[in-house]
Amino acid sequence: MTPLVCIQDLRVAFGGVPVLRGVDVTLQKGEALGLVGESGSGKSVTWLAALGLLPRHANVSGSVRLDGREILGARAAELDQVRGGRVAMIFQDPASALNPVLTIRKQLCEALALHRDLSGEAVKAEALRLLNLVGIPDAARRLSAYPHEFSGGQVQRIMIAMALAGNPDLLIADEPTTALDATIQAQILELLSTIRREMSMAMVLISHDLGVVAENCDRVAVMYAGRIVEQAPANQLFADPVHPYAQGLIGALPPLDGPRRRLTAIPGTVPDPAHMPSGCAFAPRCSLAAEPCGLAAPTLAPIADDRTVACIRAEASRRALLGIAAE
Ligand SMILES: Nc1ncnc2c1ncn2[C@@H]1O[C@H](COP(=O)(O)OP(=O)(O)OP(=O)(O)O)[C@@H](O)[C@H]1O
């Protein structure tokens, strides 16, 4: 089956400094993929590059296929159809994505007019349907309100309504709830997963919160220093992370005594993209690193059905996780 999105060897450099160093990700139709990794690892840039949203000075190469069709470097008109149409994005700070001087009706109707072949009255009816769908109370009246008249959670709901205007096959949600308090965060995530199920829509959820990813995603890709280092079904990754970085992130290495920890701090910091170590970028922070790790960057290799890991010490790492002594 042709995947909905297939990204291969995606590379991005700014001013000659590489920030994506060969990203490979595949997303099936209707699937929810979580993308996790420390700040600066390239999670947002991956999707901005895929959708042609990076500034002109970015140097981008590789392949991004949507339903088998190459969109990297596509003409602006084609990308305009993809963005907001087949693929929609929502961000951490929804207020900045709305125009403060236009009513919600006007903004929703504009989004609908751009991507849907609807007549004037049908556009208005659809705007109302979308606002109801995302749970804005008294939607008919609130269509005439301006963005500042809504709470932070409601603004994010409106952004979701705008994102749905084009009936997307894929929603990219980049830290969609980080700016919201915990209760509202849970409600927005619940809304996203209901809508996703009902519309059979795929989703990429970029998040620092591993709990959120565990609860809302089918599969997870772990990014480190501009590359994917492990991809696996969510339940497998959280129960049995293999890459030492994924283990560190999830904190699944059981301590000698006491309960399992959810999160552990990984010693050291993410390398500066301008001074990447040769070989595996994680090696300087990795307790399992051996001499060959510094020689060549490992590529993603399958370790099981639907699981890939980029680590030449994957086997040692798994043994360490399971507490099995090396033979
Ligand atoms: N327009 C830009 N010009 C120059 N460098 C950029 C630009 N956008 C991103 N970068 C750099 O690219 C790298 C990856 O950034 P990106 O925003 O993708 O990280 P991220 O993993 O999404 O981080 P966060 O979790 O903090 O959002 C960072 O080093 C960042 O400084």
CATH number, domain with residue 182 = 3.40.50.300
Provide Rg for the chain, Cα atoms.
21
Same domain, 185 and 108: yes
pLDDT confidence bin for 322, thresholds 50/70/90: low
Within a domain: 303: yes
Beta partners for residue 34, in sequence order: 205, 220
Look at residue 26 and tell me whether its pLDDT is greater than 70: yes
Same domain, 213 and 268: no
pTM summary value: 0.89
Q: Say if ligand 1 is within 6 A of residue 16 CB.
A: no
Within a domain: 7: no
Q: How far is the CA of 21 from the centre of ligand 1 (A)?
A: 13
Q: Which of 127-141, 157-171, 228-242, 306-320 has the lowest mean pLDDT?
A: 306-320
The residue among 233, 228, 194 whose CA lies nearest residue 213 is 233
Same domain, 258 and 140: no
- pLDDT of amino acid 262: 47
Q: What is the mean pLDDT of the chain?
A: 88
- pLDDT of amino acid 253: 43
What is the rounded average pLDDT of the residues 133-156?
A: 93
pLDDT confidence bin for 261, thresholds 50/70/90: very low
Same domain, 104 and 210: yes
Q: Whose CA is nearest to atom 7 of ligand 1?
A: 14
Within a domain: 272: yes
Ligand 1 mutation target, pool 14, 45, 276, most atoms within 8 A of CB: 45
Q: Say if ligand 1 is within 6 A of residue 40 CB.
A: yes
Same domain, 200 and 276: no
Same domain, 266 and 201: no
Q: Which long-range contacts link 270-276 to residues 24+ away (Cβ below 8 Å)?
A: 270/38, 270/39, 270/40, 270/41, 270/224, 270/225, 271/225, 273/17, 273/18, 273/19, 273/40, 273/225, 273/226, 274/17, 276/18, 276/21, 276/225
Look at residue 31 and tell me whether its pLDDT is greater than 90: yes
Same domain, 207 and 91: yes
Is residue 223 within a helix (H) or strand (E), and if so which, with residue range?
strand 219-224
Same domain, 249 and 211: no
Q: Which atom of ligand 1 is nearest to the CA of 226?
A: 14
The residue among 26, 77, 19 whose CA lies nearest residue 48 is 19
State the residue range of the domain holding 142. Answer: 84-217
Within a domain: 27: no
Q: Which atom of ligand 1 is nearest to the CA of 223?
A: 21
Q: How far is the CA of 226 from the centre of ligand 1 (A)?
A: 10
Q: Say if ligand 1 is within 6 A of residue 273 CB.
A: yes
pLDDT confidence bin for 327, thresholds 50/70/90: very low
Cβ-in-10-Å burial (0-12, 13-18, 19+) of 28 comes to: middle
Question: H helices within the chain, ranges in order?
Answer: 43-50, 76-82, 104-115, 120-133, 139-142, 152-164, 182-199, 210-216, 234-239, 244-250, 314-322
Q: Which atom of ligand 1 is nearest to the CA of 37?
A: 21
Q: Say if ligand 1 is within 6 A of residue 228 CB.
A: no
Which pair of structure tokens corresponds to residue 270? Answer: 């993410």
Q: Whose CA is nearest to atom 13 of ligand 1?
A: 40
Same domain, 200 and 95: yes
Q: What is the pLDDT of residues 191-208, one digit of tens each?
A: 999 999 999 999 999 998
Q: Whose CA is nearest to atom 28 of ligand 1?
A: 40
Confirm if 278 and 295 have CB atoms less than 8 A apart. yes
Same domain, 194 and 265: no
At which residue do the structure tokens 């990014």 appear? 223
Q: Show Cβ contacts of residue 38 under 8 Å, excluding neighbours closer than 6 positions.
A: 224, 249, 270
> How far apart, in whole angstroms, are the C-alpha atoms of residue 133 and residue 142?
14
Q: Which atom of ligand 1 is nearest to the CA of 55?
A: 1
- CA 52 vs CA 7, 67, 115, 178, 227: distances in Å: 13, 17, 18, 25, 19
Q: Whose CA is nearest to atom 2 of ligand 1?
A: 14
Confirm if 224 and 282 have CB atoms less than 8 A apart. yes
The residue among 163, 169, 227 whose CA lies nearest residue 2 is 169
Comparison of pLDDT for 297 and 314, the residue scoring more: 297
Same domain, 185 and 105: yes
Q: Whose CA is nearest to atom 12 of ligand 1?
A: 19
Q: Say if ligand 1 is within 6 A of residue 14 CB.
A: yes
Within a domain: 133: yes
Within a domain: 140: yes
Q: Say if ligand 1 is within 6 A of residue 55 CB.
A: yes
Cβ-in-10-Å burial (0-12, 13-18, 19+) of 324 comes to: exposed
Q: How far is the CA of 22 from the centre of ligand 1 (A)?
A: 15
Within a domain: 226: no
Same domain, 190 and 288: no
What is the rounded average pLDDT of the residues 173-178?
A: 88
Within a domain: 174: yes
Q: Say if ligand 1 is within 6 A of residue 37 CB.
A: yes
Dmax of the chain from CA atoms?
72
Ligand 1 mutation target, pool 14, 207, 229, most atoms within 8 A of CB: 14
How many domains in the chain?
A: 2
Q: What is the pLDDT of residues 42-97, one digit of tens each?
A: 999 999 999 999 999 999 999 999 999 999 989 988 998 888 789 999 988 877 78
At which residue do the structure tokens 């700014």 appear? 14
